A and B are shown apart, each in its own frame.
Chain A
Amino acid sequence: MDAFLILEDGTVFKGTSIGAEKEVISEVVFNTSMTGYLEVLTDPSYAGQATVMTYPLIGNYGICYDDMESERPWLDAFIVRELSRMPSNFRSENTIQNFLKKNDIPGIAGIDTRALTKILRDKGTMNGMVTTRRYNGDALKDVLSKIKEYSVTGVVAKTTTKGVYVAKAENPDGTRYTGSKDPKRVAFLDVGAKRNIIRSLQRQGCDVTVYPADTTAETILSQNPDGIMISNGPGDPKENVSIIKEIKKLYDSEVPIFAICLGHQLMALATGADTFKLKYGHRGGNHPVKDLSNGRVYITSQNHGYAVDPKSLDPKVCEEAFVNVNDGTNEGLKYVGKNIVTVQYHPEACPGPKDSAYLFDRFMKMMEA
Chain B
Amino acid sequence: MKDNSIKKVLMIGSGPIVIGQAAEFDYAGTQACRSLKEEGVEVVLLNSNPATIMTDKDIADHVYIEPLTIDVLERLIEKEKPDSILPTLGGQAGLNLAMALDESGFLESHNVRLIGTTALTIKKAEDRLMFKETMEKIHEPVAPSEVVHSVEDGLRVAEEIGYPVVLRPAYTLGGSGGGIAENREECTEILENGLRLSRVHEVLVEKCIAGWKEVEYEVIRDSAGNVITVCNMENIDPVGVHTGDSIVVAPSQTLGDKEYQMLRTSALNIITELGITGGCNVQYALHPESMEYCVIEVNPRVSRSSALASKATGYPIAKVAAKIALGYTLDEIKNAVTGKTYASFEPMLDYVVVKMPRLPFDKFITAEHTLGTQMKATGEVMAIANNFEGGLMKAIRSLEQHVDSLLSYDFSDLDDHDLHKLLHRVDDRRIWVIAEALRRGYSYEEIHNITKIDEWFIDKIKILVDMENRLKGESMNETLLREAKRIEFPDNVIARLTGYTEDEIAEMRDKYDIHAAFKMVDTCAAEFEAETPYYYSVFGSENESLGAFRDPAKKKKVLVLGSGPIRIGQGIEFDFCSVHCTWQFKKEGYETIIINNNPETVSTDFDIADKLYFEPLTPEDVKNVVDVEKPDGAVVQFGGQTAIKLADALEKMGVPILGTQQDDVDAAEDRERFDAILQETGCQRAAGQTVFTAEEAKKAAGELGYPVLVRPSYVLGGAGMRIAICDEDIDEYIGEINQIAQEHPILVDKYIRGTELEVDAICDGHDILIPGIMEHIERTGIHSGDSISIYPQRSLSAAAKQRVIDYTERLAKALHVIGMVNVQFIADGDDVYIIEVNPRSSRTVPYISKVTGIPIVPLATQIICGHTIRELGYEPGLQKEADYYAIKMPVFSFEKIKGADISLGPEMKSTGECLGIAKSFNEALYKAFQGAGIQLPKYKNMVITVKDEDKAEIVPIAKRFEDLGYRIFATHGTFKALSDGGVKCYQVRKVEQESPNILDLVLGHELDIVIDIPKEGAEASKDGFVIRRNAVETGVNVLTAIDTAKALATSLENKSSELHLIDIAKLDDNN
Contact = CB atoms under 8 A, between A and B. Distances in A.
Contact of B346 (A81, A122, A286): A286
A233 interface: no
A82 B391 CA distance: 14
B676 interface: no
A121 B340 CA distance: 15
Interface in A44-62: 54-57, 60-61
Contact of B349 (A55, A82, A295, A351): A55
Nearest to A357: B265
Given A34-B348, A88-B454, A54 B331 contact: no
A290 B331 CA distance: 9
B386 interface: yes
B369 interface: no
B342 A57 contact: no
B330 A32 contact: no
B245 to A, nearest CB: 23
A86 B456 contact: yes
Interface string B385-425: 01110000000000000000000000000000000000000
Interface string A327-367: 00000000000000000000001111111000000000000
Q: Most B CB atoms within 10 A — which of A39, A285, A286, A325?
A: A286
A100 B388 CA distance: 23
Contacts of A296: 224-226
Given A35-B255, A82-B387, A90 B290 contact: yes
A56 B386 contact: yes
A121 B526 contact: yes
A89 interface: yes
Contact of B342 (A36, A82, A288): A288
A31 to B, nearest CB: 9
A127 interface: no
B541 interface: yes
Given A33-B348, A287-B345, A288-B344, A67 B258 contact: yes
B106 interface: no
Contact of B541 (A89, A114, A325): A114
A117 B388 contact: no
Main secondary structure on chain A at its contact with chain B?
loop
Interface residues of B, number: 56
Nearest to A120: B526
Contacts of A32: 348, 350, 524-525, 527
A290 B229 CA distance: 17
Contacts of A54: 348, 350, 525-527
A114 B342 contact: no
Contacts of B340: 326
B345 A288 contact: yes
B542 A115 contact: yes
Contact of B260 (A35, A56, A91): A35
Nearest to B290: A90
Interface string B248-261: 00011111111011
A89 B261 contact: no
B254 A61 contact: yes
Interface residues of A, number: 54
Contact of A81 (B264, B288, B386, B528): B386
Interface string A257-298: 000000000000000000000000000111110100001111
Contact of B330 (A86, A91, A297): A297
Contact of B261 (A85, A91, A353): A353
A67 B288 contact: no
Given A115-B541, A295-B224, A326 B342 contact: yes
B345 A56 contact: no
Contact of B344 (A55, A87, A297, A350): A297
B352 interface: yes
A304 B350 CA distance: 20
Contacts of A34: 251, 260, 348-349
Given A57-B388, A299-B346, A35 B257 contact: yes
Given A32-B525, A84-B456, A326-B342, A112 B540 contact: yes
Q: Most B CB atoms within 10 A — which of A55, A60, A114?
A: A114
A297 B387 contact: no
Given A54-B348, A86-B455, A297 B226 contact: yes
Contacts, number: 161
A286 B526 contact: no
A299 B345 contact: yes
Given A88-B455, A121-B528, A64 B345 contact: no
A17 interface: no
Nearest to B541: A112
Contact of A350 (B224, B257, B346, B349): B257
A176 interface: no
A114 B526 contact: yes
B350 A114 contact: yes
Nearest to A39: B257
B510 interface: no
Nearest to A281: B527
B17 to A, nearest CB: 33
B254 A57 contact: no
A97 B253 CA distance: 18
Nearest to B330: A297
Interface in B218-233: 224-229
Given A34-B349, A352-B261, A117 B525 contact: yes
Contacts of B258: 64, 67, 91
Contacts of B529: 121-122
Nearest to A118: B526
A279 to B, nearest CB: 11
Contacts of A355: 227, 265, 268
Given A32-B525, A54-B525, A354-B265, A325 B345 contact: yes
A113 interface: yes
A122 to B, nearest CB: 8
Contacts of B347: 286
Given A35-B256, A121-B528, A114 B519 contact: yes
Interface in B247-284: 251-258, 260-261, 264-265, 268
A90 B350 CA distance: 25
Contacts of B290: 90
Contacts of A55: 251, 348-350, 525
A60 B257 contact: no
A82 B261 CA distance: 23
A284 B289 contact: no
Nearest to A282: B527
A60 B456 contact: yes
A136 to B, nearest CB: 21
A16 to B, nearest CB: 12
B342 A56 contact: no
Contact of B257 (A114, A288, A352): A352
Contacts of A112: 540-542
Q: Most A CB atoms within 10 A — which of B252, B386, B463, B542?
A: B386
Interface string B669-684: 0000000000000000
Contacts of A88: 254, 454-456, 459
A90 B331 contact: no
Contacts of B260: 34-36
A346 to B, nearest CB: 12
6 shortest A-B CB distances, which residue pairs? Answer: A36-B257, A88-B456, A54-B525, A286-B346, A35-B257, A351-B257
21 contacts: A34-B348, A35-B251, A54-B525, A55-B525, A56-B351, A56-B386, A56-B387, A60-B254, A88-B454, A90-B288, A114-B541, A114-B542, A114-B544, A115-B542, A288-B342, A288-B344, A288-B345, A297-B331, A299-B228, A325-B341, A355-B268
Given A54-B348, A88-B459, 8 more contacts: A38-B256, A60-B456, A67-B256, A114-B525, A288-B228, A288-B345, A299-B345, A352-B257
Interface of B: 224-229, 251-258, 260-261, 264-265, 268, 288-290, 329-331, 340-342, 344-352, 386-388, 454-456, 459, 463, 519, 524-529, 540-542, 544
